Chains A and B, each alone.
Chain A
């Protein structure tokens, strides 16, 4: 069975500092990995994905994520946080050789302080 873990319920960072939101996964095969962002009372917005190729994936709003197969991780990063980045972030995984239904993490609340 596939699963994804976001070990931090909340991440606090000062504006202008780099941020990292952690995600680890478990699948039987090679994973497809995704990050989404949810602003209050809104739906999910796609940020970026890893399917194959370069381990470093760049996405929307200056975010990037690094796929690390040995550590089964796909951490979301941004070099310089903005207050407007404050939101709920979800990691998702699916096993292309297994269930086509993606599994989401519980979400990490990112709070960027001015």
Chain B
């Protein structure tokens, strides 16, 4: 089992460009969570998705950010027109069912994508 795979590991974008972050959950997992880590701010929840469905996006900024988890393929976190404040580490976690991650089972996190906006 390859675990949760995120790519790219590092992403550099100029202001105004688009950033696409990909997350392939563990085999058999159908739920994905995205978190953002900023220095001295800990981990902030962004969005929780099931295949073809957004369960909870209460942590997502209202503009420029979107996420999807299609029936086939990885989950994508998309940031349009990036600004310097978007520079952060973005982590994905997966679970086999709703509430599985960080519920009673251990969490499965990816290695993260470190986005730098120049």
Q: Which residues of A contact B (CB under 8 A)?
A: 9, 32, 34, 36, 41-46, 49, 51, 90, 92, 94, 96, 100-107
Q: Which residues of chain A have C-beta atoms less than 8 A from B106's C-beta? A: 46, 49
Q: Which residues of chain A have C-beta atoms less than 8 A from B93's C-beta? A: 44
In the bound assembly, the distance between CA atoms of A49 and B106 in angstroms comes to 8
| Interface contact B110-A43, CB-CB below 8 Å | yes
The verdict on B91 contacting chain A, using a C-beta distance below 8 Å, is: yes
In the bound assembly, the distance between CA atoms of A36 and B109 in angstroms comes to 10
Q: Which residues of B contact A (CB under 8 A)?
A: 4, 6, 33, 35, 40-45, 48, 56, 58-59, 91, 93, 98-99, 102-104, 106-107, 109-112, 114
Name A106's closest neighbour in chain B (CB-CB). B42
Q: A36-B107, A43-B109, A43-B110 are in contact. Are A105 and B56 (CB under 8 A)?
A: no
Name the contact of B107 in the complex, choosing from A41, A42, A46, A100 (C-beta under 8 A).
A46
The 7 closest A-B pairs by CB, nearest first: A106-B42, A43-B109, A46-B106, A104-B43, A102-B102, A44-B109, A43-B111
Name B114's closest neighbour in chain A (CB-CB). A41
- Minimum CB–CB distance from A6 to chain B (whole Å) comes to 8
- Minimum CB–CB distance from B101 to chain A (whole Å) comes to 8
Q: Pull 11 A–B residue pairs with CB atoms less than 8 Å apart, ordered by A.
A: A41-B111, A41-B112, A42-B112, A43-B6, A49-B104, A90-B42, A94-B102, A100-B99, A102-B45, A104-B42, A104-B43
Name B59's closest neighbour in chain A (CB-CB). A101
In the bound assembly, the distance between CA atoms of A23 and B40 in angstroms comes to 16
- Minimum CB–CB distance from A91 to chain B (whole Å) comes to 9
Name the contact of B43 in the complex, choosing from A45, A51, A90 (C-beta under 8 A).
A90
In addition to A9-B40, A32-B102, 20 A-B residue pairs with Cβ atoms within 8 Å of each other are A34-B107, A41-B111, A43-B4, A43-B110, A44-B91, A44-B93, A46-B107, A49-B104, A51-B104, A92-B102, A96-B103, A100-B98, A100-B99, A100-B103, A101-B56, A103-B45, A104-B42, A104-B44, A105-B42, A107-B43
